[in-house]
A = this chain, B = another copy of it.
Amino acid sequence: MEKFDIHILGCGATLPTTRHFSASQVVNVRDKLFMIDCGEGAQMQLRKTHLKFSRLNHIFISHLHGDHCFGLLGLISTFGLLGRTAGLHIYSPDGLEELFRPLLDAFCHHLPYEVSFHTFEVKKPAVIYEDRSVTVETIPLQHRVPCCGFLFREKPRLNHIIREMVDFYQIPVSWMNRIKNGEDYITPEGEIICNDRLTRPAALPRSYAYCSDTIFDPDIVEQIKGIDLLFHEATFADGESARARETYHTTAAQAAVIACKAEVKQLLLGHFSARYEDETILLREALQEFSETLLAREGMCIAVREVLSQNKP
């Protein structure tokens, strides 16, 4: 199975604790790595995953709060010391380059690779990255500063050829790609062999959304409708819902309401306030709204589940 894994590097809120690092995670789509947010210590946490640093070329920063980007300097510096040559692309709301470039110039002035900053608008969803495996789309969020989440959508995969049928009809190799792409096969005698006799459908494309930091915002439901895995911030428990509103954060139960309304398959809670000794209360409150809920924790790797399509896509 091709990889679509989420590695949690840090799932604490603003204050790192002895239990939680600041926000950062890595999405592994078919062995390409995408970092989302880069709180202090992200590079140390990344090292613990044993993922290859060289496979990480794109970093998405949700918003310009320190707990989501203070790890960039160390990460960029370390990549340089490890002899990286491939460019590194950083996507964020406006302002990051202006702040960080002078420090990069001062502290990392002999970088053997280029760091490119890209800004995105935060008002409307937009595709900000695309390759042949995946698209990354912004999810406008409501926070104290301009902020977006990110929606990763795997692209449809080609059908699987059924080896036995290929042998049976003695189909030449030159036909394989056409058949994978859905064409029927025409034998030298002119007989048409329906594509669905020759192939099994690929699993449905998977999807992952990261929504942090944000106030409870049902406006995002439509955009994330039916996705496979939703990471949603759950900074507070119900008892702190006023504080959540005030600081533009979400309670665990509210995150679960979003998951429920959006009919996602699974919900992963994170961005936990330092005030909780453990997050059982957050999980309990969320489970009352949405049963497929998990708590994030540092070092966790969660695979976005594959769903076999019932019919041809």
Residues of A within 8 A of B (CB): 14-18, 21-22, 40-41, 43-44, 47-48, 64-67, 70-71, 73-74, 77-78, 81-82, 95, 99, 102-103, 106-108
Contact = CB atoms under 8 A, between A and B. Distances in A.
Contacts of A14: 77-78, 81
A74 B81 contact: no
A14, A22, A74, A95 interface centre (most CB from chain B within 10 Å): A74
Contacts of A41: 40-41, 44
Contacts of A102: 99, 102
A43 B108 CA distance: 22
A22 B74 CA distance: 10
Chain multiplicity (copies): 2
Given A40-B40, A44-B21, A44-B41, A74 B106 contact: no
Contacts of A21: 44
Given A15-B82, A17-B47, A18-B44, 11 more contacts: A15-B81, A16-B78, A22-B74, A40-B41, A40-B43, A40-B44, A66-B74, A66-B107, A95-B106, A99-B103, A99-B106
A16 B64 contact: no
Contacts of A44: 16-18, 21, 40-41
19 contacts: A15-B81, A16-B47, A16-B74, A16-B78, A18-B44, A18-B48, A22-B74, A40-B40, A40-B44, A40-B71, A41-B41, A41-B44, A66-B74, A70-B73, A70-B74, A70-B107, A99-B102, A99-B106, A102-B102
